[in-house]
């Protein structure tokens, strides 16, 4: 039995059914059930898990050519299998969270079906609370490098945390972890558990995730994607020869930057761990960047939350 100040968490280091929203939904629901059966109170999935990360932007040289028909076909397939926050897939995830009493954090390719933003995709992180609500919706603030060909800029609506199992849970996406003011906003949101999603949680991502844990005095679930090279779009030539083009690397990091679970690469796995939240209290004695180390008499910070219509 969990102690009072503990939370049991799960990382779904698993490949989606690439560019197949129905197949991905079925796989996600199965993984959520497995995590619940093992007593997890929170399960997290990687960056744009639904229905997969557009890694072809980085490894297929022709992807960046103007008006390139193969790239447009691949983008169209991605868009057709992306999901809306008001669509049936999001509703199914919310229902699973409510039925099982589990929190779910999942990265999606988000499409907007009407109004401002329609036609553009967004890299978003959704948080469903155990009562079946969409408790947080964070679109990535700035797509990184080649990602700008696929995703639009997000807004500040999701720079906050939600309560799951009496624990404050928030998250950022990939290179947002190098945006100092985005980190500050999240630290002020009172995170106890932070979700850091990546395509692959490689050495650089591990460094950023461990720094975040130390700076924020919180637990970090660094979540990496899995994608077999066989899922690469046939229309776009590439030279990848490894079995996995996205290799996972998921890890769980304590508030002192030590590993609770070391990075796991090159295999799909449901990673389960218990987190002792009292460690946050112990580590906050030396450093608290929103408390005694914030020096509000010298520095001021404001977070403007922008809402879409």
Active-site residues: which are they?
A: 47, 140, 174
Residues forming beta bridges with residue 110, ordered by sequence position: 83, 122
Tokens, residue 67:
């008006």
Measured distance CA(182)–CA(163) in Å, rounded: 20
Torsion, Cα 227 231 113 133, to 10 degrees, reads -30
Three-class DSSP labels, 223-268: EECEEEHHHCCCCCCCCCCCCEEEEEEEEEECCCCCEEEEEEECCC
Tokens, residue 190:
């009172």
Measured distance CA(202)–CA(175) in Å, rounded: 12
How many angstroms separate the Cα of 245 from the Cα of each of 17, 48, 265? 15, 15, 11
**Backbone Cα Rg of the chain:** 19
């Amino acid at each position: 039995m969990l102690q009072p100040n503990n939370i049991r968490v799960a990382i779904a280091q698993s490949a989606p059914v690439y560019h197949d929203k129905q197949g991905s939904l079925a796989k996600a629901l199965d993984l959520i059930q497995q995590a619940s059966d093992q007593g997890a109170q929170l399960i997290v999935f990687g960056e744009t898990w639904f229905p997969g990360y557009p890694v072809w932007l980085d490894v297929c040289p022709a992807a960046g050519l103007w008006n390139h028909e193969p790239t447009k076909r691949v983008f169209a397939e991605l868009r057709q299998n992306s999901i809306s926050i008001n669509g049936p897939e999001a509703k199914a995830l919310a229902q699973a969270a409510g039925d099982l009493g589990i929190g779910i954090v999942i990265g999606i390719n988000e499409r907007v079906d009407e109004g401002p933003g329609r036609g553009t995709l967004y890299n978003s992180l959704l948080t469903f609370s155990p009562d079946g609500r969409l408790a947080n919706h964070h679109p990535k603030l700035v797509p990184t490098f080649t990602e700008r060909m696929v995703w639009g800029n997000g807004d500040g609506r999701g720079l906050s945390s939600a309560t799951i199992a009496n624990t404050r849970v928030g998250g950022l996406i990939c290179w947002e972890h190098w945006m100092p003011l985005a980190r500050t906003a999240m630290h002020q949101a009172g995170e106890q558990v932070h979700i850091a999603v990546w395509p692959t949680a490689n050495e650089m991502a591990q460094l950023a995730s461990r720094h975040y844990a130390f700076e924020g005095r919180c637990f970090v679930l660094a979540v990496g994607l899995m994608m077999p090279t066989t899922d690469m779009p046939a229309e776009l030539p590439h030279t990848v020869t490894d079995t996995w083009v996205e290799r996972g690397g998921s890890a769980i990091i304590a508030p002192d930057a030590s590993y609770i679970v070391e990075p796991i690469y090159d295999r799909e796995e449901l990673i389960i761990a218990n987190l002792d939240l009292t460690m946050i209290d112990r580590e906050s004695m030396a450093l608290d960047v929103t408390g005694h180390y914030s020096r509000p008499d010298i520095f001021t910070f404001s977070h403007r939350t922008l809402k879409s219509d």
